[in-house]
């Protein structure tokens, strides 16, 4: 756990893998604002080097005032490192002088992983293995690694879920091999507004007047906003002990309700296309096996490590769940969903583009 003085990131050199993605950008934006401490550097590590300059310019022009704290911190602190998490040499180089790693790089599209399972293994398993090995062999000074995971890792039936489940276990085990570095995981549901999520797809279809494609009338998903996902990362950094998995308490929705709320009074058809390869009808964030070691802290469920060696110093905490944490059991109504989207500026297309910062 990190002693909280209100500025936990002060003076830290932070590496964000996959930092060009929508979640990575939101995280970098939060870090550069400096309200949790002014880092010494925020380093974006990504294969997509062509986006680096675009991202830098977007951050420099994000604030209207020339003396904006974000603008100044962007110019002075934001760094980019082109490289591939799947290449050990690139990872070793990127970790030079780093205190904290936030691993958000992933191949996360479920059907893509089904058609390219070897690519999913290389990115979602080999990449984390390289990260762990590089810390152990070359950079023992790394203080913490926060690994972004997904509800697909629970009871996995897809290649993406299977590879992310193994990734979680790799990071948990790393706490034994590298006791000087704290490895923790954070599981997300469907991050509204992120690239590849259903929300931008539906908005794009509606604005173009095309049918909205829903896989199944009964499909449910856990949801959280990008800002809430960032908050969970911060909470895990401040509070999580080695090997723990943090899971924000979040509502679930019916995807059919989402389509209908976004369509509103427009005369747009909903077309049911069937579940795609690897998809689940409902998602789970805490499994039946995990509820026996799941506690609650500050709005999060915390799954204690599966390895008993990592639980020996944990104080007794009451268990938080008596049954699995499943999306089909926690669905909000369509009206509640509409209010939620409205409150976060995600209901209408123009608001969504401004809030998400995405070019659809």
Domains within the chain, CATH numbers bracketed: 83-356 (3.40.50.720)
Q: How far is the C-alpha of 86 from the C-alpha of 291, rounded, in Å?
A: 33
Query: Exposed e or buried b for every residue in 16-27, given b needs 16+ CB within 10 A?
Result: bbbbbbbbbbbb
3-state secondary structure of 296: strand
Mean local confidence (pLDDT), 222-243:
94
Q: How far is the C-alpha of 236 from the C-alpha of 229, rounded, in Å?
A: 11
Please tell me the predicted confidence (pLDDT) of residue 71: 82
Q: Name the residue with tokens 């934001």.
A: 78
3-state secondary structure of 345: coil
Please tell me the predicted confidence (pLDDT) of residue 64: 60
User: Is the pLDDT confidence value at 357 over 70?
Assistant: no
pLDDT in tens, 148-176: 999 999 999 999 999 999 999 999 999 99
Percent of the chain with pLDDT over 90: 76
Helix ranges restricted to H, the chain: 22-33, 50-60, 69-77, 88-94, 110-115, 117-121, 127-137, 159-177, 198-207, 226-239, 255-263, 334-343, 349-356
pLDDT in tens, 204-213: 999 999 999 9
Mean local confidence (pLDDT), 262-275:
96
Percent of the chain with pLDDT over 70: 93
User: Is the pLDDT confidence value at 60 over 80?
Assistant: yes
User: Is the pLDDT confidence value at 124 over 60?
Assistant: yes
For the chain, the helix, strand and coil percentages under 3-state DSSP, each to the nearest 5: 40, 20, 40
Please tell me the predicted confidence (pLDDT) of residue 360: 33
Mean local confidence (pLDDT), 249-274:
96
Mean local confidence (pLDDT), 309-332:
90
3-state secondary structure of 249: coil
Mean local confidence (pLDDT), 96-117:
96
Q: Which helix (H) or strand (E) holds 252?
A: strand 252-254
Is the pTM value of this prediction over 0.75?
A: yes
The tokens describing 214, both together, are 């829903």
Please tell me the predicted confidence (pLDDT) of residue 35: 86
Given CA atoms 80, 59, 47, 161 in this order, what sign does their dihedral have?
Answer: positive
Of 107-116, 158-167, 223-232, 346-355, which range is least confident? 346-355
Give the list of residues 6+ apart from residue 54 with CB closer than 8 angstroms, or none: none
Q: Which residues pair with 61 in a beta bridge?
A: none
3-state secondary structure of 302: strand
Q: How far is the C-alpha of 150 from the C-alpha of 246, rounded, in Å?
A: 11
pLDDT-based confidence at 358, cuts 50/70/90?
A: very low
pLDDT in tens, 313-322: 666 789 999 9
User: Is the pLDDT confidence value at 68 over 90?
Assistant: no
User: Is the pLDDT confidence value at 195 over 90?
Assistant: no
Please tell me the predicted confidence (pLDDT) of residue 5: 65
The tokens describing 229, both together, are 């996902």
């Amino acid at each position: 756990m990190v002693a909280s003085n209100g500025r936990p990131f002060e003076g830290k050199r932070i590496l964000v893998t996959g930092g060009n993605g929508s979640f990575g950008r939101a995280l970098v934006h939060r870090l550069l604002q400096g309200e949790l401490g002014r880092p010494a550097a925020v380093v974006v590590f990504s294969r997509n080097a062509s986006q680096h300059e675009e991202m830098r310019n977007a951050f420099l022009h994000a604030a209207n005032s020339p003396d904006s704290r974000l603008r100044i911190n962007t110019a002075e602190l934001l760094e980019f490192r082109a490289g591939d998490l799947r290449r050990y040499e690139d990872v070793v180089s990127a970790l030079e002088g780093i205190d904290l790693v936030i691993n958000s790089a992933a191949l996360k599209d479920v059907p893509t992983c089904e058609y390219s399972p070897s690519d999913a293994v290389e990115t979602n398993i080999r990449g984390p293995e390289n990260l762990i090995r590089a810390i152990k062999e070359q950079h023992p000074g790394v203080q913490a690694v926060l690994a972004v995971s997904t509800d697909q890792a629970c009871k996995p039936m897809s290649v993406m879920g299977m590879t992310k489940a193994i990734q979680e276990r790799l990071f948990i085990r790393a706490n034994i091999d590298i006791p000087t570095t704290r490895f923790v995981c954070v599981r997300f549901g469907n991050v509204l507004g992120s690239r590849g999520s259903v929300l931008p797809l539906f908005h794009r279809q509606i604005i173009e007047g095309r049918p909205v494609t829903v896989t199944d009338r009964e499909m449910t998903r856990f949801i959280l906003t990008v800002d809430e996902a960032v908050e969970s990362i911060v909470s895990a950094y401040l509070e999580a002990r080695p090997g723990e998995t943090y899971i924000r308490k979040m509502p679930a929705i019916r995807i059919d309700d989402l389509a209908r709320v976004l369509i509103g009074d427009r005369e747009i058809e909903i077309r049911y296309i069937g579940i795609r390869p690897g998809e689940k009808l409902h998602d789970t964030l805490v499994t039946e096996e995990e509820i026996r070691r799941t506690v609650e802290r500050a709005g999060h469920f915390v799954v204690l490590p599966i390895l008993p060696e990592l639980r020996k110093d944990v104080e007794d905490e009451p268990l938080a769940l008596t049954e699995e944490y499943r999306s089909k059991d926690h669905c909000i109504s369509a009206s509640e969903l509409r209010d939620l989207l409205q409150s976060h500026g995600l209901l209408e297309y123009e608001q969504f583009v401004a809030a998400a910062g995405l070019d659809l």
